[in-house]
Chain A
Amino acid sequence: MAGSAIAERPASRIATAAILVTAFFVGAVLMGFEMLGSRYLFPYFGGGIGTWAGLISTVLAALTIGYFIGGALVDRHPTPRLIAVASALAALYLAAVPATADPVMSFILDQFGDGPTGILLAASALLLIPLSFLGTFSPVAIRLLLRSMHQSGRIAGMVYGVATIGNIFGTLFTTFWLIPTIGSRAITYVDAGVLAVSAIVMWLLPNPADDA
């Protein structure tokens, strides 16, 4: 792969736009799926504050894993296909959730009870793997769009800003629109579909790191 040197020329507009739009949708799915996590967990682990603590900490753990791994990988392989692969794997995982969630939640509840161990295991089974894949997005996107140290602050700020707007949209749209109109399982398939489309776009995108 090319791109060991960072050129001064900015990344192409199409590549930049595609990566930022993907940042928005990946961010939206990430937080939307966290909200959905409550619908999967509450029937088994109760609607208490402990369940929310389990969900939130698991999402943050997934992001932590994704940031470290994504950052390390993109330095070796600076290509949008990293995002494509991560999104595709997350989409596959989400697509498997509706059919498997109930037996998995029952099993964890029966084996580990409803204390912090059970809640964290259940939240991890649901969220940790797909959201770790999605967590790789931001460091990869920043590395792909970065052309010079002079822009590094602006590029990092833009990627995080757009992804966070996506987080906000995903939280609100899932909670106030999707949950009242279609069921949790259907929303999960919608999320998987959005990630699959993102994966295809990122796979086909000319590599902005090759512009150098």
Chain B
Amino acid sequence: MTLERPALDGPGVAGPVSARNIMRFVSLLARLGPACLAGLIGFLTPLQGHAQARTLVESAESLYNNIYVYREGNVFAMTFGYNRTIYTESLYNSLDDRDLPVVYTRYMTASLLYAKNVKSVLEIGFGGGRESWYLHRFLPEASITSVELDPKVVELAKKYFGIKDEPNFNVVNRDGRLFLQQSKDKYDLILIDAYRGPFVPFHLLTKEFYELVKAHLAEGGVVAQNVEPSTMLFDSAVKTIHSVFPQQDFYLGEGNVVTIAYDGPPRSPDDLAKSASDRDASLKLRYSLSQMLQQRRRLPPEGGTGTIDPNAKILTDDFAPVESLKAIESHNRKWPDPQ
């Protein structure tokens, strides 16, 4: 999971205008040593308008990331540091393991209302494991598998983020695409959230990848993907997903967009509403699917309102310039109203 912005702007934290710069400074100091950081946090606390100080609990340099785990009161944050910016990967409320403090992660669970069955779930990109653990708590009978590239991330999630070894809950340490390539299983839900700080692995965003995903969906299965909307990479990612899955709905969650995609004909609004209320009743979910459904957005046909650039190219294994697309900012994206 990645919130593509500095931690202090994140949900549940009232970030001041200068939060980004302060966070960069904090991140820099984090490298200089915890002692400096403690001193700085004492200084920053009034600026943050928070009574509780944010303390660095553990930092680790893994094969792939510089990982910092912070604690602020009862909330733990797993963050990756790059380029003096800290990217929040996951937030965990240690008093309540069914809380999803990050808004877009709630919308990832909207996939539950689309799927024909909810017996097996695959997540690509475990991070702090909040989404998969939420699903595990509310669907203890479902088989949940989450794939994570970085073994250190899994280790820290188990240490600080309330992740336990339980039946029906498996974390696999592997590249997401490689896992799919070698797996023969099919899933009712596939959740994709495999960003690493600012980096997007190109081989998890191509048409060939989504065709592989489609081949691993059970009948009536759906895909949910977190996409960061501020750059041209969003336009290409949406078009690429659409090239494989004809149906695509969108949910806007503070800074991130969740797209839910499926094969076959479009589901009618009444059909979806019934499915949402049925699952709300049977699963007793914390975050109501019926309420989420009210935020559902559809894109108009090609060339519509300017939500998606009509010139955006479909990404393939052959042509996937994710880094350069990510460098082109896309402001004033116009979204159609929820329907």
> A residues bordering B, Cβ < 8 Å?
39, 42-49, 109, 114, 176, 179-186
Contact = CB atoms under 8 A, between A and B. Distances in A.
B148 to A, nearest CB: 12
B203 A47 contact: yes
B317 A48 contact: no
Nearest to A185: B318
Interface in B314-336: 316-321, 323-325
Interface string B295-324: 000000000000000000000111111011
Given A47-B201, A114-B182, A186-B318, 17 more contacts: A39-B320, A42-B203, A43-B177, A44-B178, A45-B175, A46-B175, A47-B149, A47-B202, A48-B64, A49-B63, A109-B182, A176-B324, A179-B321, A181-B321, A183-B319, A184-B318, A184-B319
A154 B174 CA distance: 49
Nearest to B179: A46
Contacts of A181: 321
Which of B174, B208, B319, B320 has the most C-beta atoms of chain A within 10 angstroms of its own C-beta? B319
B318 A183 contact: yes
A42 B149 contact: no
Contact of B63 (A42, A48, A179, A184): A48
A39 B317 contact: yes
B181 interface: yes
Interface string B227-256: 000000000000000000000000000000
A114 B318 contact: no
B211 to A, nearest CB: 11
Which of B201, B202, B317 has the most C-beta atoms of chain A within 10 angstroms of its own C-beta? B317
Nearest to A184: B318
Contact of B181 (A39, A44, A180): A44
Nearest to B201: A47
A120 to B, nearest CB: 16
A29 B334 CA distance: 43
B321 A180 contact: yes
B63 A183 contact: no
Given A43-B203, A48-B63, A49-B63, A182 B177 contact: no
A179 B323 CA distance: 10
Contacts of B181: 44, 109
B206 interface: yes
A48 B318 contact: no
Nearest to A109: B181
B319 A42 contact: no
B318 A47 contact: no
A181 B174 CA distance: 30
A39 B317 CA distance: 7
Nearest to B202: A42
B175 A47 contact: yes
10 contacts: A46-B175, A46-B177, A48-B64, A49-B63, A49-B64, A109-B181, A114-B178, A114-B182, A180-B324, A183-B319
